Amino acid sequence: MVVKFFAEYCRPCQRTLPEAARLANQYADTLFVGIAVDESEIAVARQIRRFALPFTVLHDTGNASVGRFRVAELPATYVADSDGEIVWVGGPEQPDGALARVLAALNAGTTPPGPP
Read off the CATH number of the domain in which 87 is found: 3.40.30.10
- The number of folded domains in the chain is 1
Beta-carbon contacts of residue 58 (< 8 Å; ≥ 6 apart):
33, 34, 35, 36, 65
| 115 lies in some domain | no
| 44 lies in some domain | yes
Q: What is the pLDDT of residues 24-62, one digit of tens each?
A: 999 999 999 999 999 999 999 999 999 999 999 999 988
| 113 lies in some domain | no
Pairing of strands 2-6, 32-36: parallel
Q: What is the pLDDT of residues 73-113, one digit of tens each?
A: 999 999 999 999 999 999 998 888 999 999 999 999 887 77
Query: What is the pLDDT at residue 9?
Result: 95
Amino acid at 74: L
pTM of structure? 0.92
> Is 63 or 41 the better-scoring residue by pLDDT?
41
